Amino acid sequence: MIELVNISKSYNRGAVKAVESLNLAVKPGEIFGFLGPNGAGKTTTIKIMVGLLQPDGGTARIGGFDIQKNPLEVKKQIGFVPENPEVYEKITGIEYLNFLGDVHGVPGPERAKRAMELLEMFKLDNAVNDLVQTYSHGMRQKLVLTGSFLHNPPVLIMDEPMVGLDPRSSFDLKEKLQEYCQEHRTVFFSTHILAVAEQFCHRVGIIHQGRLIACGTLEELQKQARNRESLEKIFLELTEA
Amino acid sequence: MRLKMVWKVTVLNLKNAFGLATFAYFFRKRDVRFLKSAGIFALIVLALAPLFYIYLRIVDEVYEFAVGTGQEGVVITMGLVLASFLVFIFGIAYVISTFYFSRDLDFLIPLPLRPGEVLAGKFGMVLATEYITIAPFLLPAFLVYGLRTEPGLLFWLLVPVIYLLVPLIPLALASLLVMVLMSITNLSRKKDLLQLLGMFILVLMIMAFNFLMTRVPPGEEMELMMMIFQDPEGLINYVGRAFPTTIWATRAMIYPLSAGQALNFLGFSGISVLALWCMMWVADVLFYRGLIGGQEVEKGRVLDKEKIARKLMTRHSPIVAIAQREMRILIRTPIYMFNSVAILVIAPLAMGIPYFTMGFGELGAMLAVVDRTLINLAGAGFIALMSLFVPALSSSISREGRLFRLSQVIPVHPFKQLLGKLLYGFMLTLLAVPLLILGAFLFLPWGFWDLVFITLMGLVVSGQMLVLSLIIDLMRPYLTWDNPQQAIKQNMNVLFAMVLGAGLLYIYYLMVERLMERDFSAGIIYVVVVVISLAVAASLTFILHKMSSRRYKKIVI
Ligand SMILES: Nc1ncnc2c1ncn2[C@@H]1O[C@H](COP(=O)(O)OP(=O)(O)OP(=O)(O)O)[C@@H](O)[C@H]1O
Ligand SMILES: [Mg+2]
């Protein structure tokens, strides 16, 4: 579903190598956790996947389409949650969702059904008629999350989706994601919460200084490290070597 | 007040606003992008050169005229008054957004700074931009007077001092009014609306004040003339009376060294400093009080599930959805609304002031001798001009700011998104129509069908202006702004589009004039204008289509 081949990206004319020849494949029905220390290149990779950044080299394919060559086809297939939940301040939650529904061409009844389900799950239905300006950080995040499910995309790409959510909401989100990928849908997300990755990712990848230093199921990662107690220990060992 | 702190806040803001850091960085690294920035700057200067030349000629002619009265100093008064007005009028919107809507306030306020210090730092930043704004109006006045009168060294020494002092009083005045306005509107529930109204009322008050000051009571024209020409300072006093301090500044500059001159200078600089001090003092009390008003917003009604679901059912095409989004953001952001709609109120008033003293009857009589075709086309041209000045599209990509990212990831072809913006541009352009209707009621010779025809013509001519504006903004959008006002006022694209578009309209005017001289019928002239407009719009749209995908991909925020 997601294929990254030899992706490289540097900032400041090569001075900062944010991502270096990254190769990665995620299959349909998989939940993939993308881990790495601050500044490792997670957001950069994700931005390349959704077309916000042009890579210096390499190709990113989603659902068989190259983001460079067929950006629209790729964008139709993804739901994207950016690192910071920035939403137009001056429109209401409903208007935001309708905007996304319109640009994705989601029919009205379908749109209402999906949105309502998530709005109720996130307990956002009371605020959905207010301007986004009045939302708290977590409420914005919930709105963006709701929007990303609206067109039932085959691939969800999320940059730290749990940040700012209260325990109940992040629990519900995890349930929702698990349910989601059972229909052969793919979830790709970055996170710093190792417990989450450990619990419910089918596979994880660890990126460090722009390079993918480990990738696989929990068992596979355990083989790579000496200290096998927990993902936390493995992570620390691999990224501090 | 710790000046060091004020200075720090100012420098931080300036660096951020003008991209000075990036510029210096490119320069140090010998990056070619440095040349690009410099090239764009050169281009801007080039585009404005003709306007500047015309202004220089006007100043020179005023000087020529004033020589006859022995009051050449009036060119300086004129420059000072003009500069003060500009600073004041632009200052209001600019000050509101920098003081109250900057993103960095969340960062600055928790720091151990006094309200007055934060505000003064922000003031410094606005001031710096005002120095740039007034330079082309003030410097020609100094130059013309200085070169033609040869007033001696002291004059030239005073030029930079006065130049630096001029914007202080009007800007401090604007800041004071804004702070009062914001702290009052903050008490109410409908803050956005009140702020918008407040800004309008301020501007209207200024115009009314100006109108009253310059108005001559009927029957007293002769006495006024006598006063102006017999009093050795009559002309200067007359020009400067809207901003009396400019009279003092003029005196300080044009009279030889004397006690009187020193007194005038002291008076002018004293009041400037006093205005500044006053503003900071008020800021310590009022600034933070109005601040929450910038951010707190009234809650909407809580809807039950059925209502929400029903609202979510309405479906539009992507193009309409985008036009809708643009419209909503415009309407709900007071500062955008002010910029767009104020110009619709201010422009015709400013153009009309000299004529209002005449009375509409006389105005109508005056127009009766002008060719109807020309009046109709002028109406259409007015609509087109408004599409540039609103400014609907020359800042429409810039205004998306950091949220442009969302436009980059939605699955709507960039060209389609731009079409949505065009739709919005046309809707906004229609705001000019009520003005035409008003004009038709008052003095313009138009009936209902005339108005319909003129509106359609206007939209046809506007098309190319809108596409041109969009192309300009797409080429080099300004997305990293810190407060919404910058997206419009610090955006050279807006200026570019206005200058280029106005130039284009001028070419149409010349063309129509030629056609009329050769006695072509009205029908043919209309057809020619429409055909050329559509052809230009079509070619521009083609260019827009070609560049859209590439630009949407390339832009990185
Ligand atoms: N716009 C930019 N300009 C220059 N360098 C950048 C830019 N954005 C990111 N970088 C650099 O690229 C590298 C990778 O950054 P990235 O944002 O991808 O990290 P991340 O893994 O998402 O980190 P975090 O966990 O903190 O979100 C860092 O060294 C960062 O300094
Ligand atoms: Mg990140």
Residue B31 has a pLDDT of: 61
Residue B446 lies in a domain: yes
pLDDT range class, residue B471, cuts 50, 70, 90:
very high
Of the residues A52, A130, A149, A150, the best mutation for testing chain B's interface (the one with the most B CB atoms within 10 Å of its CB) is A52
Q: In what order do the strands lie in the sheet with A57-62?
A: A16-26, A2-11, A57-62, A65-66
| Ligand 1 site, residue A39, Cβ cutoff 6 A | yes
Residue B470 has a pLDDT of: 93
Q: Are residues B280 and B321 in the same domain?
A: no
Q: State which residue of chain A sits closest to B299, comparing Cα positions.
A: A130
CB B488 within 8 A of CB B336: yes
Structure token pair of residue A101: 């529904």
Q: Is the pLDDT higher at B154 or at B38? A: B154
Residue B201 lies in a domain: yes
Q: Would you tell me how many other CB atoms lie within 10 Å of the CB of residue B82? A: 19
Please give the Cα distance from A70 to A93 (Å, whole number): 30
Q: Are residues B234 and B372 in the same domain?
A: no
Residue B90 lies in a domain: yes
Q: How many helices (H) and strands (E) does chain B have?
A: 25, 0
DSSP H helices, B255-297, are 259-295
Residue B300 lies in a domain: no
- Mean pLDDT, chain A cut into blocks of 10 residues (241 residues total): 92 82 92 93 92 88 89 87 85 88 88 92 90 89 93 93 92 92 91 87 92 88 77 83 70
SS3 category, A201: coil
Provide mean pLDDT across the span B346-368: 60
Provide mean pLDDT across the span B33-56: 70
For ligand 1, atom 12: residue with the closest CA: A18
Q: Which 8-state DSSP code applies to residue A65?
A: E
Q: Are residues B74 and B196 in the same domain?
A: yes
Residue B354 has a pLDDT of: 47
Q: Is B413 touching A (CB cutoff 8 A)?
A: yes
Q: Is the pLDDT higher at B229 or at B507? A: B507
Residue B553 has a pLDDT of: 87
Q: Which 8-state DSSP code applies to residue A35?
A: E
Residue B30 has a pLDDT of: 60
pLDDT beyond 80 at B25 = no
Q: Do B332 and A104 touch (CB under 8 A)?
A: no
All structural domains of chain A, each given as residue ranges with its CATH number in brackets, are 2-84+154-238 (3.40.50.300)
Q: Which residues are near ligand 2, the ion (C-beta closer than 5 Å)?
A: A 42-43
Q: Are residues B290 and B317 in the same domain?
A: no
- B122-139 in b/e form (b: 16+ CB < 10 A) is bbbbbbebbeebbeebbb
Residue B296 has a pLDDT of: 55
For ligand 1, atom 24: residue with the closest CA: A38
Rg (CA), chain A: 18
Domain that holds residue B443: 313-554
CB B440 within 8 A of CB B364: no
Ligand 1 geometric centre to CA of A18 (Å): 6
Find tokens 């009844």 and name the residue: A109
Nearest CB among B309, B328, B410 relative to A103 is that of B410
Provide mean pLDDT across the span B192-208: 73
Q: Are residues B65 and B116 in the same domain?
A: yes
Structure token pair of residue B251: 């005196």
Q: B19 to chain A nearest CA, in Å?
A: 16
Nearest CB among B312, B325, B411 relative to A72 is that of B411
Residue B284 has a pLDDT of: 82
Question: Which range has the worst mean pLDDT, A11-15, A133-137, B220-224, B541-545?
Answer: B220-224
| Ligand 1 site, residue A98, Cβ cutoff 6 A | no
Q: How many residues does chain A have?
A: 241
User: In degrees, to the nearest 5, what angle opens at C-alpha B163 toward C-alphas B115 and B23?
Assistant: 70
Q: Structural domain tally of chain B?
A: 2
Q: Are residues B286 and B370 in the same domain?
A: no
Nearest CB among A51, A88, A92 relative to B403 is that of A88
Please give the Cα distance from B58 to A93 (Å, whole number): 54
Mean pLDDT of all residues in chain B? Answer: 80
| Ligand 1 site, residue A11, Cβ cutoff 6 A | yes
Q: Which of B294, B329, B351 is the last residue of a domain?
A: B294
Q: Are residues B256 and B334 in the same domain?
A: no
Q: Would you tell me how many other CB atoms lie within 10 Å of the CB of residue B67? A: 12
* Mutate which of A43, A46, A157 for ligand 1 pocket (most atoms within 8 A of beta carbon): A43
Q: How many residues does chain B have?
A: 557
Q: Would you tell me how many other CB atoms lie within 10 Å of the CB of residue B366? A: 12
Q: Would you tell me how many other CB atoms lie within 10 Å of the CB of residue A160? A: 20
| Ligand 1 site, residue A22, Cβ cutoff 6 A | no
Give a three-class secondary structure readout of B271-282.
HHHHHHHHHHHH
Tens-digit pLDDT profile for residues B11-23 = 666 666 555 555 5
Q: Which of B294, B321, B345 is the last residue of a domain?
A: B294
Of the residues A76, A88, A100, the best mutation for testing chain B's interface (the one with the most B CB atoms within 10 Å of its CB) is A88
Residue B397 lies in a domain: yes
Residue B12 lies in a domain: yes
SS3 category, A20: strand
CB B87 within 8 A of CB B272: no
Q: Are residues B170 and B48 in the same domain?
A: yes
Q: Which 8-state DSSP code applies to residue B556?
A: -
> From its phi and psi, is residue A212 left (phi > 0), alpha (psi between -120 and 50) or beta?
beta
Q: Do B556 and A120 touch (CB under 8 A)?
A: no
CB B122 within 8 A of CB B102: yes
SS3 category, A131: strand
Ligand 1 geometric centre to CA of A87 (Å): 21
Residue B19 has a pLDDT of: 56
pLDDT range class, residue B454, cuts 50, 70, 90:
very high
| Ligand 1 site, residue A42, Cβ cutoff 6 A | yes
pLDDT beyond 50 at B141 = yes
Q: Where are the beta strands (DSSP E) in chain A?
A: 2-11, 16-26, 31-35, 57-62, 65-66, 78-81, 155-159, 186-190, 203-208, 211-216
Provide mean pLDDT across the span B157-174: 90
Rg (CA), chain B: 25
Q: State which residue of chain B sits closest to A77, comparing Cα positions.
A: B411
Please give the Cα distance from B245 to B266 (Å, whole number): 11
Tens-digit pLDDT profile for residues B109-123 = 766 677 787 888 888
Q: Are residues B92 and B155 in the same domain?
A: yes
Ligand 1 geometric centre to CA of B2 (Å): 37
Nearest CB among A54, A88, A102 relative to B553 is that of A54
Question: Which range has the worst mean pLDDT, A176-190, B221-235, B312-326?
Answer: B221-235
Burial class (CB in 10 A: 0-12, 13-18, 19+), B116: buried
* Mutate which of A4, A10, A42, A162 for ligand 1 pocket (most atoms within 8 A of beta carbon): A42
Structure token pair of residue B57: 């000629």
pLDDT beyond 60 at B356 = no
Of the residues A96, A99, A119, the best mutation for testing chain B's interface (the one with the most B CB atoms within 10 Å of its CB) is A99
Provide mean pLDDT across the span B308-331: 87
Q: Is B539 touching A (CB cutoff 8 A)?
A: no
CB B96 within 8 A of CB B293: no
pLDDT range class, residue B248, cuts 50, 70, 90:
confident
Residue B303 lies in a domain: no
- A106-135 in b/e form (b: 16+ CB < 10 A) is beeebbbebbbebbebbebbebbbbbbbbb
Please give the Cα distance from B534 to A53 (Å, whole number): 36
pLDDT beyond 60 at B495 = yes
- Element housing B100 (H / E): helix B74-100
Q: Which 8-state DSSP code applies to residue B402?
A: G
Q: Do A92 and B300 touch (CB under 8 A)?
A: yes
Q: Which of B261, B294, B327 is the last residue of a domain?
A: B294
Tens-digit pLDDT profile for residues B203-216 = 777 767 766 666 66
Residue B305 lies in a domain: no
User: In degrees, to the nearest 5, what angle opens at C-alpha B240 toward C-alphas B236 and B246?
Assistant: 105
CB A218 within 8 A of CB A198: yes
* Residue A131, strand partner residues: A92
Q: Is B30 touching A (CB cutoff 8 A)?
A: no
Ligand 1 geometric centre to CA of B8 (Å): 28
Q: In what order do the strands lie in the sheet with A186-190?
A: A78-81, A155-159, A186-190, A31-35, A203-208, A211-216
C-alpha dist (Å) from residue B553 to B224, B271, B296, B505: 64, 53, 36, 33
Q: Chain B residues with CB inside 8 Å of A13's CB?
A: 29, 31
Tens-digit pLDDT profile for residues B284-305 = 888 877 765 455 556 667 788 8
Q: Are residues B324 and B223 in the same domain?
A: no
Q: Are residues B290 and B334 in the same domain?
A: no
Q: Are residues B328 and B272 in the same domain?
A: no
Strand A186-190 and strand A155-159: pairing? parallel
